[in-house]
Amino acid sequence: MHRRNFLRLSLLGSAATLAGVGLPSAEAASKLKITKIRYYNAPWYTKPLFNQARGIVEIETNEGIIGIGEGGSKDMIEQCAQMMIGEDPFRIEHLWQYLYRGMFYPPGREKLHALGALEMALWDIKGKALNVPVYELLGGATRDYVECYATGFRASKATTEEGRAQDCIAAGLRAYRIGPTGGNGDKPFDFYEHTKSTIDFCKRIDAAVGGGGKWAIDLHTRFDLTEGVKICKALEALEPYFVEDIIRSENPDVYTTVRQMTNVPIAVGEQFGDRWDINTFIEKRLIDYTRVTLPNTGGISEFKKIAALCETHYIGMIPHFTGPLSVAALVHALGSSSPARCMVELAGGEPEKPAYFNEDYLNFKNGKLYLNPAPGLGVKFDPKKATFVMEITANTKYPHPILKSPDGSIHNW
């Protein structure tokens, strides 16, 4: 029996089928219940950025199937996890709505990060229970591989940024991503000085890789509108793959002005969460690429909804790197989506190798990430190599009251 098909109902604790076709019924699916949720710290990861949280989540079911996810802080995971005990892990969208609307205030980006980790684990459970990779559950493969771009290139022996960029492209990655000059250390950031030196830096990188959109730059929101646009105007003839975070992006209408003042491909979104965060940028086509990523969007389902918006408006997806498990999940999400241009960022230009995941958790060859056909996300977690933080086994807090529509769907209170 092929491991990808849906006949492994024994894992669901029921032999019930629909009309003898071998598909699990709703009754069979509901045999699975969430019994425990554990949270671990990645012991070696100390980067002090909250939206880069690298906690590992395990969701365990009554049938012993365990799904893993990545992201969230202890407090946010704890609040959400208590609402999930006893629930059916197959009802992924229902649980997402329940957690999203389950308190009085709409979730902020920090809570979305935790929600994304937990939702990621639900998809892993479902894939393992049905013995199929997550990308099959999301509609099946739409591409053979996902291209990658690098921020830095650890494998290079070069001593210059130009040399590292050349080595990156020679290794098969699509583009080399750089940042502006300055902004590191205690020296004050001078707009005038670093506008000029950033433009010169881009020219050197472009010459090193031979042009052709083989490089990109993140301006890190360090520049004001005047300097940001000046840099973009100077880069137009060089045709970078994208210019990211030209200015701060809290006010989408400002990007209406930016869009009229330059024709470089614009990328925005690495700090964003769900589709409402990025919607204006997409609907008004103020950008060419979203940088929204996992788990920041709130999970795989939400990422797929943003992918549909991007496809509708002819916008590419080039997700920001957050963590190794999230990269694995991104391959499933992008590998089953249809925006024409997709790339995944690899920090250092190659997959991380955390001790607590199996060595082959990513299928990486010649600068590209190939779909992993193993059940679920295809990643095995060894909790003995991470730092245990907490286990949730009971729903000890009740959320704000929730109304349900007559059909059982969640309604705002």
Phi, psi of 346 (to 5 degrees): -120, 115
Look at residues 341, 395, 357, 376 and name the one whose alpha carbon lies nearest to residue 143: 341
When pLDDT is averaged across residues 20-48 and rounded to a whole number, the result is 68
Q: How far apart are CA 3 and CA 401, in angstroms?
A: 42
Domain extents for the chain? 32-131+382-411, 137-370
Output the pLDDT for position 406: 87
User: Of 40-54, 120-134, 188-202, 285-299, which range is least confident?
Assistant: 40-54
Share of the chain above pLDDT 70, in %: 89
pLDDT at 381 over 90: yes
pLDDT band at 396 (very low <50, low <70, confident <90, very high): confident
Alpha helices in 191-339 (DSSP H): 191-209, 225-235, 252-261, 275-283, 300-312, 324-334
pLDDT band at 185 (very low <50, low <70, confident <90, very high): low
- Check if 32-131+382-411 and 137-370 are the same fold: no
Q: How far apart are CA 44 and CA 25, in angstroms?
A: 43
7, 69, 273, 315, 362 from 290: Cα distances, Å: 38, 22, 11, 7, 23
Q: Which CATH architecture does the domain made up of 137-370 adopt?
A: Alpha-Beta Barrel (3.20)
pLDDT at 266 over 70: yes
Contacts of 6 (CB under 8 A, 6+ apart): 22, 23, 24, 130, 131, 132
Output the pLDDT for position 121: 98
pLDDT tens-digit readout, 321-345: 999 999 999 999 999 999 889 999 9
pLDDT band at 383 (very low <50, low <70, confident <90, very high): very high
- Written as one letter, the residue type at 303 is F
Segments of 113-256 assigned E as strands: 145-151, 175-178, 215-218, 243-244
pLDDT tens-digit readout, 4-27: 443 344 444 443 333 333 334 444
pLDDT tens-digit readout, 72-112: 999 999 999 999 999 999 999 999 999 998 887 889 999 99
pLDDT band at 45 (very low <50, low <70, confident <90, very high): low
Contacts of 200 (CB under 8 A, 6+ apart): none
Phi, psi of 273 (to 5 degrees): -115, -115
- The superfamily (CATH) of domain 32-131+382-411 is Enolase-like, N-terminal domain (3.30.390.10)
pLDDT at 33 over 60: yes
* CB contact at 8 A, 310 and 339: yes
- Written as one letter, the residue type at 300 is I
Chain-centroid distance of CA 106 in Å reads: 21
Q: How far apart are CA 329 and CA 333, in angstroms?
A: 6
When pLDDT is averaged across residues 292-320 and rounded to a whole number, the result is 97
pLDDT band at 151 (very low <50, low <70, confident <90, very high): very high
pLDDT at 233 over 80: yes
Of 39-53, 93-107, 179-193, which has the strongest mean pLDDT? 93-107
When pLDDT is averaged across residues 374-397 and rounded to a whole number, the result is 93
When pLDDT is averaged across residues 359-382 and rounded to a whole number, the result is 97
